[in-house]
Amino acid sequence: MLIGEYSHSLDAKGRVNFPARLREDLGDRFVITKGLDDCLFVYSLEEWSKLEEKLSELPLSKSRMLKRFFYAGAVEVEGDKQGRVIIPQNLREYAGLSKDVTVVGASTRAEIWDSARWTSYCDGISSDMVAEAMDELGF
């Protein structure tokens, strides 16, 4: 399970030091792609295969948009000896990544956020909203 929140900086080459704790669960190679809420999703190769399988089971009329969204910008990455991965320019632009980024664990995937955007997103979530969602799930 991918959990935690980690603050890092992008270097001039678009590299980020990916958290060691998350790399342990993601593996040596993993996939970065566009995500929801203007962040990037990060999948282990195993979880990426599960996503591909689920999308392939859908009729084309329902899957074509999702396939284009997730696959067109996807890139398989491998960390260097320092644990850094390169985030391609198109994905950095999509997620509005500046120098400071926040990498968060989100169960079966990780997410990469521009730190200011992450803070703003979190500020928009109230404990009442969380309580309501938990009630709906029966917690």
pLDDT tens digits, one per residue of 22-48: 999 999 999 999 999 999 999 999 999
CATH homologous superfamily of domain 5-137? Transcriptional regulator MraZ domain (3.40.1550.20)
Domain boundaries along the sequence of the chain: 5-137
* 97 in Cβ contact with 112 (< 8 Å): yes
**Helix or strand holding residue 139 (H, E):** none
Average of per-residue pLDDT across 1-6: 96
> What single string gives the DSSP state of each residue in 55-88?
HHHS-HHHHHHHHHHHHHT-EEEE--TTSEEEPP
Contact (Cβ atoms closer than 8 angstroms) between residue 18 and residue 35: no
Residue 47 pLDDT: 97
Mean pLDDT of the chain: 96
* Model confidence band, residue 55 (pLDDT cutoffs 50, 70, 90): very high
Q: What is the pLDDT of residues 93-124, one digit of tens each?
A: 999 999 999 999 999 999 999 999 999 999 99
pTM of the model: 0.94
